[in-house]
């Protein structure tokens, strides 16, 4: 039993997770389980692979201008779709550069498959074919402890949509992270074997339940829930899609967030989905909120004062 950390998705806002991890380390709070959605899955994977928060920030600053590969042929595809009267566009961002970058960075730590990680980790995605939550992990997850176990419903024959999550042990980690980052309408979905996956935030932006199943008895979750009055970037299709996704993710996860022992809420309304230009400042915001509230956090986790570094 130990402390689990759930890192929510939020595009570039997810860089704040780096600061949170650094602050938790500085104040003597040891994380034993980690789960991350979307950009949170990237940070969780780097952490589980052995990268320090400072190394993560250097990686983000090094690659931030080359992570996003906008499909330059999108205009021609859109024009062709109009002529053919059939829309074939799957997303504005191909995601190839992101996946290759992750693969290269993880290879430096000798990691290719999620099972190569020794640190317990889980990454949620959503299967576009079935609509089910699919967790990829490197550990066996207790499926018996299921929040849907005591419920029943009438199911018509051949109904495919399942509310019970699916758990897959193993898988190429760069592909899994790429899948969890695939915001629908912005990123092209990721095919893994015979299935197609999109951003886990569609159904579980704050992966708290899975941490309980992995064995965590105390959970810290980092969320980005302060979008009220945020009009940043909604004058274009990418901004509109991003904001709509933020609203949907918040609404679908607000009940789950309350199950955590500590909810670290960050208001980063000035940071758009794909804006990595202020990475260092965003990471500092994550660090500072932990530092300002460390006493309260330790009380919530039942950690005695003498264990921390003040």
- Model pLDDT, residue 298: 95
Pairwise CA distance, residues 54 & 18, whole Å: 8
Q: What is the pLDDT of residue 186?
A: 80
Tens place of pLDDT for every residue, the chain, 310 residues?
Answer: 699 999 999 888 999 999 999 999 999 999 999 999 999 999 999 999 999 999 999 999 998 776 654 544 444 344 344 344 444 444 457 768 889 999 999 999 999 999 999 999 999 999 999 999 999 999 999 776 554 444 555 555 555 556 689 999 999 999 999 999 988 878 888 999 999 999 988 899 999 999 999 999 999 999 986 555 555 555 555 555 556 656 666 666 666 788 899 999 998 877 877 778 889 999 999 999 999 999 999 999 998 654 333 2
d(CA 100, CA 145): 36
pTM score: 0.83
In this predicted structure, what is the pLDDT of residue 72? 46
d(CA 260, CA 156): 35
Give residue 308's pLDDT. Answer: 37
CA distance 68 to 303: 41
Closest CA to 221 of 2, 3, 5: 5
Widest CA span in the chain: 70
Among candidates 258, 247, 188, which has minimal Cα distance to 10? Answer: 247
Nearest partner of 183 among 73, 75, 278, 93, judged by Cα = 93
Q: pLDDT value at position 42?
A: 96
Residue 179: predicted pLDDT: 95
The rounded distance, in Å, linking the Cα atoms of 281 and 293 is 19
For residue 160, what pLDDT is reported?
56
DSSP state of 114: G
Q: How far is CA 304 from the centre of its chain?
A: 30
What pLDDT score was predicted for residue 196? 94
Q: What string of DSSP letters covers 285-300?
A: HHHHHHHHTHHHHHHH
pLDDT at 153: 55
């Amino acid at each position: 039993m130990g402390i689990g950390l759930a890192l929510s998705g939020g595009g570039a806002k997810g860089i704040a997770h780096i600061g949170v991890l650094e602050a938790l380390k500085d104040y003597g709070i040891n994380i034993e389980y980690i789960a991350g959605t979307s950009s949170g899955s990237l940070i969780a994977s780097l952490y589980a692979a052995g990268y320090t928060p400072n190394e993560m920030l250097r990686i983000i600053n090094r690659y931030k201008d080359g992570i996003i590969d906008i499909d330059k042929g999108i205009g021609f595809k859109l024009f062709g779709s109009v002529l053919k009267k059939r829309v074939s566009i799957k997303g504005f961002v191909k995601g190839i550069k992101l996946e290759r970058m992750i693969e290269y960075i993880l290879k430096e730590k000798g990691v290719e498959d999620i099972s190569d990680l020794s640190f317990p980790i889980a990454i949620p995605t959503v299967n576009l074919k079935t609509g089910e939550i699919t967790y990829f992990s490197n550990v066996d997850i207790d499926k018996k402890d299921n929040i849907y176990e005591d419920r029943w419903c009438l199911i018509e024959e051949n109904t495919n949509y399942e509310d019970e999550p699916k758990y897959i042990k193993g898988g190429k980690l760069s592909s899994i992270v790429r899948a969890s980052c695939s915001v629908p309408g912005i990123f092209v979905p990721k095919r893994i074997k015979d299935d197609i996956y999109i951003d886990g935030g569609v159904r579980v932006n704050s992966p708290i339940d899975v941490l309980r199943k992995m064995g965590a008895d105390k959970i810290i979750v980092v969320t980005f829930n302060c979008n009220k009055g945020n009009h940043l970037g909604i004058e274009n299709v990418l901004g509109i899609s991003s904001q709509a996704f933020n609203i949907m993710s918040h609404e679908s996860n607000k009940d789950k967030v309350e199950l955590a022992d500590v909810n670290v809420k960050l208001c980063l309304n000035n940071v758009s989905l794909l804006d990595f230009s202020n990475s260092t400042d965003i990471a500092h915001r994550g660090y500072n909120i932990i530092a300002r509230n460390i006493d309260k956090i330790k009380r919530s986790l039942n950690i005695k004062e003498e264990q921390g570094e003040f």
